[in-house]
Amino acid sequence: MFRINDYIIYGDNGICKIDDICIPLIEGIDTNRKYYVLRPVNTARSKIYIPVDSDKAVIRKIMSYEEAMELIDSIPSIEIIKIENEKLKVSTYRYLFHKNNGKDMLGILKTLYLKREKRLKTGKKFSASDERYFHMAEEHLYNELSFSLGIKKEDMENFIAERVRYLEAAQTPGNSRERE
C-alpha cells in the first residue's frame, strides 16, 4: 500500500502524487472502499480516484535515483522485442504499455530506434504506428527518468546517449576508464 505524498506511476497518467487516501463523498463512488486521491504532476488541477484495493489499476512506485541509473545502465543488455507477425505488433506494444514498467518501455524504445535506423538507411519510411509507440514510450520513460534523476526531460536523450557511450567505452579492452 502506498502512502500520502508518495509519487507513483499510474497508467497513461504518468507520474502522480498521492494527495490523500480516503473515502470520498462523491456520488456514485463506493463508500465501502478507500481510494487513492491522485494528482497527475503534469496536470496539477486534475484529481483521479482509484480504489486502494483495485486489481485493475496498474500502479507502481516511481523509480528511485538508483533504480533509474540501473535501468539506463542496462540498455546495452536490453533485448529487442521480436515480433514475428507484424499484425501482432500493436497488441504487443499495448500489452507492454499496460504492464507499465521501465524495462518494457526501454525495450520498445530500443526496438523501434534500431528499426527506424535500419529503415532510414535503406530509404524506407518509419511506419506511423511505430512512430506513435516510439514517442509514447519515450514520453513515459523520459518523464519518469527525468523526475527520478532530477534532469530536465529535454536533456534525457543526451544524458542517456552519453551514459551508454561511457559504458561502452568502459567495456572496451585497454580503455583507461576500465581501471577507474
Range of 135's domain? 65-179
pLDDT of residue 67: 97
Provide the number of structural domains found in the chain. Answer: 2
- Can you give the pTM of this predicted structure? 0.84
Phi and psi at 59, nearest 5°, equal -125, 135
> Is the same domain home to 164 and 139?
yes
Q: What is the pLDDT of residues 2-55, one digit of tens each?
A: 999 999 999 888 899 999 999 998 898 888 999 999 999 988 788 999 999 988
Whether residue 75 contacts residue 110, with contact meaning beta carbons closer than 8 Å, is answered with: yes
Mean pLDDT within 82-104: 87
Mean pLDDT within 92-120: 90
Q: What is the pLDDT of residues 158-176, one digit of tens each?
A: 999 999 999 888 887 765 5
pLDDT over 70 (residue 179) = no
Whether residue 50 contacts residue 139, with contact meaning beta carbons closer than 8 Å, is answered with: no
Determine, yes or no, domain membership for 2: no
pLDDT of residue 174: 65
pLDDT of residue 147: 96
Q: CA angle 56-58-64, nearest 5°? A: 160
> Is the same domain home to 36 and 86?
no
Q: What is the pLDDT of residues 49-80, one digit of tens each?
A: 999 998 888 899 999 999 999 999 999 899 99
Alpha-carbon gap, residue 117 to 47, rounded angstroms:
40
The CATH number given to whatever domain includes residue 154 is 1.20.58
Q: What is the pLDDT of residues 118-148, one digit of tens each?
A: 998 999 988 898 999 999 999 999 999 999 9
> Is the same domain home to 97 and 163?
yes
Look at residues 22, 43, 61 and tell me which one is the last residue of a structural domain: 61
> Is the same domain home to 82 and 147?
yes
pLDDT of residue 20: 96
> Is the same domain home to 43 and 103?
no
Alpha-carbon gap, residue 143 to 152, rounded angstroms:
9
Alpha-carbon gap, residue 83 to 156, rounded angstroms:
28
> Is the same domain home to 76 and 134?
yes
Determine, yes or no, domain membership for 1: no
Q: Looking up cell 494528482, which residue turns up?
A: 39
Cα Rg of the chain, angstroms: 19
